[in-house]
Amino acid sequence: MSRLLVNRFPRPDFESGYLYPEYSYAVPNEMLWDIIDVTVLLILLGIVTWAAFRKRMRMPILAVSVVSVGYFGFFRGGCVCSIGSIQNVALAFVDPSYSLSLAVFLFFIIPIVFAFLFGRVFCAGVCPFGALQDLVNVKNFRISRPVAGALSVIPWIYLAFTLIYAMTRTRFLICKFDPFIGIFRLGGDIGVIGFGIVLLLMSIFTGRPFCRFLCPYGAILDLVSRASIFKVRITPKRCICCDLCHDSCPVDAIKAPYGNKTGETPAEGVRRVVAYMVALPLLMVACALMMRWIAPDLARANSEVRLHEMVTAYEAGPQDTMEPEVEAFYSQGRNLAELETSRNLVVSKFRFYSTLAGILIGLVIGLKLLEMSLKRGRKEYEIDYGRCVACAKCFDYCPQK
């Protein structure tokens, strides 16, 4: 801006041979910040892993949560974000022309690698979104298992739509509707900020509602952590079934011991499971067809599709004034045939990716129904490693330390 002001008027013409100095501007060293961010990420992940697996202590994880909220949240403004990196990686996967930052890729892949090794230690306190919810949590009111099971499908649906809009270069949904970015940056869309405040108020009375029922990155970590190599344990000793760990878990990730309370015979259970297995491919096909059917409507969010509608409407009924987008279209020398070709290409991409997303959604819903229908007796309290966020609260409550 200062250079524009200086060069706004012609320079005076000196006859003394005076040479004007070259302008120089200080450019922020983004690479340095990328290195710092990745280093802090690795250090915090290391501390949480050490605290959960080696020391079995809650306080270091709580300290990590404070640091994460302060650094990744308020200081860095919630960016780079592992949750939002899903969009960048997805777009780079289908579009070689898109330049994916190494730091963004590392923020995407490092927590996944740690999840495969140690479970969801990233969610424990390293993620500023989860840490902020955990810091305000006071009491945990239980959500019924059927309701929690139904709500747990939402992150996968959110992930599916995120991939559709990112791969078609339409919109980064996570960045647009991120509920905590406005809070960290102390400004933004008032509706999104209000939604973030509502989530924080809910977090006071139930553990991490965003992480459990909205976060698309949490869905990926849920899947990966189920196959983690090293698994956290509630107690290294024999469980005495005191129920204290179950009451303390903020995300209801500890399964209580129970028998077959329904009195169901093994044959009845097998028939039910077989019925769900038969229905699973049908559900996947139905969801795929439904998503393919609504793909043209989803594509209307794309700028090319929207511009095609505006130009078509203008040429069908010309008016004295044109929309800025339409005026820019004609000023660039483009024609309707070219725009229609571009629009059809976008719609075809939406149909393809929406079909795949429908298959994913149908698969998740079917597997969730199958999981909730299983009746397996347990003699001790067991951890659901997909939902466990390694917050270590159960350690402090367990008398078998």
Q: CA-CA distances (angstroms) from residue 341 to 24, 275, 303?
A: 45, 45, 14
| Residues in the chain, pLDDT under 50 | 1-6
pLDDT at residue 274, rounded to an integer: 86
Phi, psi of 255 (to 5 degrees): -85, 130
pLDDT at residue 1, rounded to an integer: 44
pLDDT at residue 8, rounded to an integer: 54
Query: What is the reported pTM?
Result: 0.88
pLDDT digits (tens, 9 = 90+) for 48-65: 999 999 999 999 999 999
Give the pair of three-digit tokens for residue 331.
Answer: 């000023």
d(CA 291, CA 361): 10
The three-point CA angle 299-303-307 to 5° equals 100
d(CA 346, CA 355): 14
CB 242 within 8 Å of CB 399: yes
Q: Residue with structure tokens 């794309």? A: 302
CB 338 within 8 Å of CB 311: no
Quickly count helices (H) and strands (E) in the chain. 20, 2
pLDDT at residue 261, rounded to an integer: 57
pLDDT digits (tens, 9 = 90+) for 18-48: 665 666 655 567 788 999 999 999 999 999 9
- How many CB atoms are closer than 10 A to CB 368? 15
pLDDT at residue 262, rounded to an integer: 56
What value does the CA radius of gyration of the chain take, rounded to a whole number of Å?
A: 26
CB 205 within 8 Å of CB 189: no
